[in-house]
Amino acid sequence: MFQSILVVLGTMFIVFVLFKLEGPESLARAILSTPKATPAQLNQVIKEYGFNLPPWDQLWHEILNYAQLNFGRSPATNQSVLSEIRVALPRSLLLVGVSLILSVIVAIPLGVFQTVRRNKPSDYTLTALSFIFYAMPAFLLGSLLLLLFEDHWHLAVPISESETVPQIAFNLRQITLPVLTLAALTVASFSRYMRSSMMDAMTEDYVRTARAKGAGQGRVLFRHAFRNALIPIITLIGLSLPAVAGGAVITEVVFNYPGMGNLTYNAAVNSQVQVVVATTVVATLLTVVGSLLADILYAVADPRIRYAHR
């Protein structure tokens, strides 16, 4: 818990320092979003946002504001950043969540299947495919899918800004492509890890013992090897949470999906400090929550951890 708070504070500090390097003038200019701002206007903005205060005071104010969920106001839309995040976050969670669940559902059986068919043509084919998908930039896959399904076959439609989460979720023509893009890349790495972790488990002593006692292949695979092989995968899911959020930036930009990644990208390109700091901190917070969830999942998968804590 202490470490989680430390991580969030540290993130704020790092992002904050990075932006302060820009200097108050250019920050104020970005907020006014006009290149021809007069010095008087600039000074007013600098005063209003407190850019002239000592850095430590600014950081302290920022932390206080964040603790009260006050993320400031977005200069572009004149809305509070909190309300923008409130709209964008559920959409991102939908996209990332669905694709993560989908990739786990696909990758784990794939890994098991490859273990069973080890060193056979189907194993080699799947391995080759996973290498190719792992090496493919997300925007390449996304653009190709867009090209085929949206422009060529007209099966998919773009997502508009005004859609609510249930509208996006139940409109398969909108959500399928972004989810597929994100999931394909995740499946590529997860299935490789699942395969090697399952292979490792199959060489363990307990598998040999189970075999010696006459357990069938199915029982050995699923009762003995499978649960042990899951543990590294859970670690991987926990570790990949920030990567998934980061990978979602590309996917969201490709499909113009109005989530956190798109919000951050547009804000960063327009030097909107408040928005970028807020989204980055929120994304980090989610990552921290995610890794706590991974810890809980460990205990579900591995009885040894469950009993050790009693």
Partner 1 sequence: MPTADVGGTDRSFAGLISGSSRAVVAPALPEIDQGSIVPPLETRAPEGGEAGSTGSIFRIIGRVFIENKLAVVGLVILIVVVAFCFGGPLIYHTDQLSIILRPITGPGTCGAGKINIGPPCPLGVDDQGFDVLGRLMVAGQSDLEVGLAAAFIATCVGVVWGAVAGFVGGVVDSVMMRFVDILLSIPSLLLLIVIATMFSPGKNQLIFIIAGLAWLTPARLVRGETLTLRTREYVQAVRVMGGTGRRIVLRHIIPNAVGTIVVNATFQVADAILTLAALSFLKLGLHYPQTDWGDMLTDGATYATSGYWWLIVPAGTMIVTTVVAFNFIGDALRDSLEVRLQRR
In angstroms, the CA 131 to CA 224 distance is 28
14-53 binders of partner 1 (CB under 8 A): 14-15, 18-19, 21-22
In angstroms, the CA 207 to CA 226 distance is 11
**Residue 134 makes contact with partner 1 by CB under 8 A:** yes
Among 87, 175, 220, 250, binds partner 1 (CB under 8 A): 250
**Residue 155 makes contact with partner 1 by CB under 8 A:** no
Residue (of 286, 263, 278, 288) closest to 70 by Cα position: 278
Token digits of residue 215: 């357990």
**In sequence order, what DSSP letters do the residues of 50-115 get, joined into one string?**
TTTS-HHHHHHHHHHHHHTT---B-TTT-SBHHHHHHHHHHHHHHHHHHHHHHHHHHHHHHHHHHH
In angstroms, the CA 145 to CA 305 distance is 43
In angstroms, the CA 26 to CA 278 distance is 19
**Residue 232 makes contact with partner 1 by CB under 8 A:** no
262-281 binders of partner 1 (CB under 8 A): 264-265, 268-269, 271, 276, 279-280
Candidate segments 78-86, 165-173, 175-183, 250-258, binder of partner 1 by CB under 8 A: 250-258
The residue type found at 148 is L
**Residue 139 makes contact with partner 1 by CB under 8 A:** yes
**Residue 112 makes contact with partner 1 by CB under 8 A:** no
**Residue 137 makes contact with partner 1 by CB under 8 A:** yes
In angstroms, the CA 37 to CA 26 distance is 11
Among 101, 147, 292, 296, binds partner 1 (CB under 8 A): 147
Among 42, 156, 221, 253, binds partner 1 (CB under 8 A): 253
Candidate segments 44-52, 56-64, 115-123, 238-246, binder of partner 1 by CB under 8 A: 238-246
In angstroms, the CA 27 to CA 233 distance is 43
- Please enumerate in sequence order all residues whose Cβ is within 8 A of that of 92, keeping only pairs 6 or more positions apart, or say none: 245, 248, 252, 259, 260, 261
Candidate segments 33-41, 49-57, 62-70, 286-294, binder of partner 1 by CB under 8 A: 286-294
Candidate segments 41-49, 112-120, 284-292, 300-308, binder of partner 1 by CB under 8 A: 284-292
**Residue 292 makes contact with partner 1 by CB under 8 A:** no
Radius of gyration of the chain (CA): 24
Residue among 6 and 105 whose Cβ is closer to partner 1: 6
Smallest separation, CB 95 to partner 1 (Å): 14
Token digits of residue 294: 């991974």
| Residues contacting partner 1: total by CB under 8 A | 48
Among 88, 95, 138, 234, binds partner 1 (CB under 8 A): 138
- Please enumerate in sequence order all residues whose Cβ is within 8 A of that of 183, keeping only pairs 6 or more positions apart, or say none: 99, 100, 102, 103, 106
**Residue 199 makes contact with partner 1 by CB under 8 A:** no
- Residues contributing to the site for partner 1 (CB under 8 A): 3, 6-7, 10-11, 14-15, 18-19, 21-22, 131-132, 134-140, 143-144, 146-147, 151, 242-243, 245-247, 249-250, 253-254, 261, 264-265, 268-269, 271, 276, 279-280, 283-284, 287-288, 291
